[in-house]
Amino acid sequence: MDLNGKTAIVTGASRGIGTYIAKTLARHGANIIAVARSEAGLQETKVDIENSGGSCQIIPFDLSNIDGLEGLVADIWSNHGPIQFLVNNAGIEHYQHYDRIQKSEILSILNINLHCPLELSRAIMPRMLDNSEGHIINISSLAGKKGVAYNSIYSASKAGLLMWADGMRQEYNDSPIDISVVCPGFISEAGMFNDGQIDPPPLLGSSKPQKVADAVIKALKKGSCEIIVNSGPIRPLLALGQISWKLADKIVRWFGVPALSRKRISF
């Protein structure tokens, strides 16, 4: 896959991992359409990309406005030409005891993390099919493969993203559209986990945000796939979880994941 001259929509491109994804795609020659709520953050991404010789257009937009996403896609396609890549990166989380979480917080997480990617993809796929070219990449999480205590809504949203992509890969196997998922673990230096300013469990470690961006490039070049980004021994744990959830839960507690999550609760 030659990315040069292709156009990519990257959501959540105003901060965190999204900026790394946008900049890395631009370095590989892609024209970036950066979408997020923060215009100031998008401007910083645009300046960084253009200072490096890349192309970036910004669209400040509240991605929780699900009803407006179809019009957003139509406007982007009309104003910027065919879109080859959609990177569903935007995401939010909220650590809390489930019995204390508010209905509005649940809806907000599900809207941004799951409903938004589904609706953006639904709006753009007919155009990609007509154009005989398209690749949708969902930035999920290892939290979608193994539930995280005190962050269960985030886990549910990311698991939904994984299973939706799984079904989509099968449904569109014989089409010109590829569907990929990138599943980061604990990410240092940028992103929501880094914002919490708590060290990851030593046995699981952390990865740099550039590795997530590199995984996006790998997915684009490889085609439909699922890529895990994690420095620790997560694959054996995930496999074990399919055999014995009780043992997997014990190992996660031993790693210190629930205790870490508890520290991040916002009172």
Residues 6+ apart with CB under 8 A from 21: 10, 13, 87, 89, 139, 212, 213, 216
Q: Is-catalytic flag, 154? A: yes
Half-sphere exposure (Cβ direction) of 246: Cα atoms closer than 13 Å: 0
Tell me the DSSP string of 21-33. HHHHHHHTTPEEE
* Closest to 28 (Cα-Cα) out of 221, 262, 260, 239: 221
Do the beta carbons of residue 177 and residue 134 sit within 8 Å?
yes
At 77, the amino acid letter reads: W
Do the beta carbons of residue 47 and residue 55 sit within 8 Å?
no
* Closest to 199 (Cα-Cα) out of 187, 191, 208: 187
Among 20, 95, 150, 154, the active-site one is: 154
DSSP 231: S
- Which are the catalytic amino acids? 154
